[in-house]
Homo-oligomer: A and B are copies of this chain.
Amino acid sequence: MAERLGFVGLGIMGKPMARNLLQAGFPVTVHSRGRGPVEELVAEGASQGSSPADVARVTDVVITMLPDTPDVEEVLLGEGDGLRAAAAPGSLVIDMSTIDPGRARSFASALDQKGIAMLDAPVSGGERGAIEGTLSVMVGGPTDAFERALPVLRALGSNIVHVGGAGAGQVAKACNQLVVGATIEAVAEALALAERSGVDPAKVREALLGGFAASKILEVHGQRMLDRSFEPGFRVRLHRKDARIVMDAAREVGASTPSFAVVEGQLERLVDAGGGELDHAALITLLEGA
């Protein structure tokens, strides 16, 4: 019999993910701050839980998809209302939010004390990946929990990698956000240099796609830069949040990230300039007034 699933956090990412689980045939109990998405999913067959604890009481596996580390802490460990207060020993929590790796590890050990297993399983692929069920999922935690979670994760993503123990999924996600942010900035600097030099940046993109400079970012975000099309996609504000996670994670282990430190600064500048709700390809706009 399919495990009874809970889903906490029905935002831009969470809502389509919960929908994919329903459509895969899982019984799903949902909880979210916003009433709209809850009602939508209940109309599609989900049950409603009045709190994270309430969801935990009637499910075996609870997925959380929340904005930031403090939200996850509240939902997991909140006094009275949190998952930990109500989940049965032997149940599993899969946190798919992007949070600090060190905190993910502490949350896992706090749940473990009550016999609740936890996986950190942040994703990449954005809203489109969430809707289409083609997310990349980077998983940290024990192997038996990973294997138990696989049928659930397969309804959400197409590239699922068990990276290592607790926190390893968040480390991989931090690495992902580092590489994505730095590559966007590099492509932006190159296309802005071409433009300033009087050379057609579209031709430069085309030439570069044929060699070692080729990347998914040059292809997708490079095109957005040429089109001046900054509808998200992935918002600058959220990438800044993730950039802080990267820098904190690096500081914590004494890792050196000299070029990403510049990228973090650019993300901050763009938020300060009012660009927080744009797609992160908008980093190029900072270079144009140079």
Contact = CB atoms under 8 A, between A and B. Distances in A.
A46 interface: no
A174 B126 CA distance: 31
A18 interface: no
Interface string A29-60: 00000000000000000000000000000000
Given A176-B213, A203-B172, A262-B262, A287 B255 contact: yes
A24 interface: no
Contacts of A263: 259
A183 interface: yes
A178 B124 CA distance: 26
A1 interface: no
Interface in A135-175: 136, 138, 140, 158-159, 161-164, 167-168, 171-172, 174-175
Given A258-B266, A290-B254, A172 B199 contact: yes
Contacts of A208: 172, 175-176, 179
Interface stretch (A9-17, A86-94, A215-223): A215-223
Interface string A171-191: 110111011101101110111
A114 interface: no
A177 B97 CA distance: 35
* Size bracket, chain A contacts: 35 or more
A273 interface: no
A254 to B, nearest CB: 6
A203 B164 contact: yes
A196 interface: yes
Interface of A: 101, 124-126, 136, 138, 140, 158-159, 161-164, 167-168, 171-172, 174-176, 178-180, 182-183, 185-187, 189-194, 196-200, 203-204, 206-208, 210-218, 220, 246, 249-250, 253-263, 265-266, 286-287, 290
Closest 10 CB pairs of A and B: A159-B210, A256-B290, A215-B215, A182-B186, A175-B190, A161-B207, A179-B213, A136-B211, A124-B211, A196-B253
